[in-house]
Amino acid sequence: MTSTSNEPLYIKVNAEDNVAIIVNAGGLPAGTVFPCGLTLIEHVPQGHKVALKDLAQNEEIIRYGEVIGYAIQSIPKGSWIEESLVVMPTAPELDDLLLGNKVPPVLPPLEGYTFEGFRNENGTVATKNLLGISTSVQCVVGVLDYAVKKIKEELLPLYPNVDDVVALKHNYGCGVAINAPEAVVPIRTLRNLAIHPNFGGEVLIVGLGCEKLLPEQVIPVPDKANILSLQDHQGFINMVQAIVKMAGERLKRLNERKRVTCPVSDLVVGLQCGGSDAFSGVTANPAVGYAADLLVRAGATAMFSEVTEVRDAIHLLTPRVVNEEVGKALIREMKYYDRYLDLGKVDRSSNTAPGNKKGGLANIVEKALGSIAKSGSSPIAEVLSPGERPTEKGLIYAATPASDFICGTLQLASGIHVQVFTTGRGTPYGLAMAPVIKVSTRTALTEHWHDLIDVNAGTIATGEATIEEVGWEIFRLILDVASGRKKPWADQWGLHNDLCLFNPAPVT
């Protein structure tokens, strides 16, 4: 049922919840009376929690049917539960979790859906037709930027079937402990980025000539015809001309590619959130989760990530793994990141940003419970370490930091063709290598950023649409974007963030 704009509304997610979040834009003032009789005793901002009952000191605060914290003092019914009033609980013990004991049933197949993609010689499919030029070391970036600008201005217009030229720039390659065990992460990431399906197999690596990470290490099958070392060329102009010449040869071949009809099972779709708020777990993320289930039902791969944003909800994920091996892999990635954070003398609570709190999220526990809604209800078929490529289809957990830019880079290395990105606070984030569909948690954000948000999930909060309806909208938009029929706003404006490697190894 559609609400009127002045009707006071709150959302209670689970019957066990003793808090709810305020729906109305701008929040609601003290004295507001809800149809159920609840009366606010103070102003409560939009998205923030109101106590549905009197809470005693140290009493559990429950949202999503889970404990998100404990009351630091007595909190009367109708009060604003501001984040400073909430004591965060400890994270679930990883060694006590049950594995695969509640594997969800496989949902009915979804047939008859296709998209138009570029079929590669190795059988993979692309959603963009791009010339990718990778680097083996940060030293060459200035020269490559100059060359790419020249290529885009002088060559790209001659090849109308090629969408863009993308430089895979990063801050790795030298001054690093290249043989350290953890160096496998950035090196694997760079190798897998270079063979992304959207590059059509046309690998080109620009190196310097004296770096620790040799260009041959960035290519799965080394071929000197695909490598250019700047120190082999006399002067800047010759360097640029050599890059332009090699690019021209590849643009000719890429220009011959045509879109063909492909089954949805060829798609890998990344799921991520950034600038989350209290609505994320009740509007955008559940709708994306429903779309993820539709993708899995159609045979595709849906990939969710962000370790610190699932860590406190891990006990809800381990029962969904398809077998014990996958469950142990999921726990392995949680333990790895616990140790990683401990080395820096912090814990998962460092994740929660000021904007998250301003949007109503009290702590990382509440944030994580909303974040995992992106995973839908399908069984978890596989777990990937950072930068690995999947070997299974279905719902995949790809371990990454929660940083938008690092997560995006690692999901690209894992082969995503499209990313669906939910946001409550708003971000102009985008990726050059794959289109990013932006889903807003609130109607107010969609209206405020009308030319940056692609899907408004805020209608779920006001009763104008259901999770299922918005989920179908996202699913259909994924297929349109993958087919090149529609461009998300980030691609229309050319808003593309730099790649950002995850390097847990020492810098020397």
Same domain assignment for residues 278 and 382: yes
Q: Walk along the chain (508 residues) and give the pLDDT tens digit of each residue.
A: 344 457 999 999 999 999 999 999 999 999 999 999 999 999 999 999 999 999 999 999 999 999 999 999 999 999 999 999 999 999 999 999 999 999 999 999 999 999 999 999 999 999 999 999 999 999 999 999 999 999 999 999 999 999 999 999 999 999 999 999 999 999 999 999 999 999 999 989 999 999 999 999 998 777 788 999 999 999 999 999 999 999 999 999 999 999 999 999 999 999 999 999 999 999 999 999 999 999 999 999 999 999 999 999 999 999 999 999 999 999 999 999 999 999 999 999 999 999 999 999 999 999 999 999 999 999 999 999 999 999 999 999 999 999 999 999 999 999 999 999 999 999 999 999 999 999 999 999 999 999 999 999 999 999 999 999 999 999 999 999 999 999 999 999 999 999 999 999 999 9
Residue 210 placed within a domain: yes
Same domain assignment for residues 254 and 276: no
Under 8 Å between Cβ of 264 and 114: yes
Same domain assignment for residues 210 and 254: yes
In which domain, by residue range, is 340 found? 268-493
Please identify, among 242, 259, 276, the residue that sits at the C-terminal boundary of a domain: 259
Total number of domains in the chain: 3
Quote the DSSP letter at residue 106: P
pTM of the predicted model, to two decimals? 0.96
Same domain assignment for residues 336 and 452: yes
Task: Say which residues have a Cβ less than 8 Å from residue 437's Cβ, sequence separation at least 6.
Answer: 418, 419, 420, 421, 454, 455, 474, 477, 478, 481, 488
Same domain assignment for residues 230 and 279: no
Q: In what order do the strands lie in the sheet with 164-168?
A: 164-168, 130-135, 205-207, 227-229
Longest CA–CA span in the chain (Å) reads: 80
Please identify, among 259, 282, 310, the residue that sits at the C-terminal boundary of a domain: 259
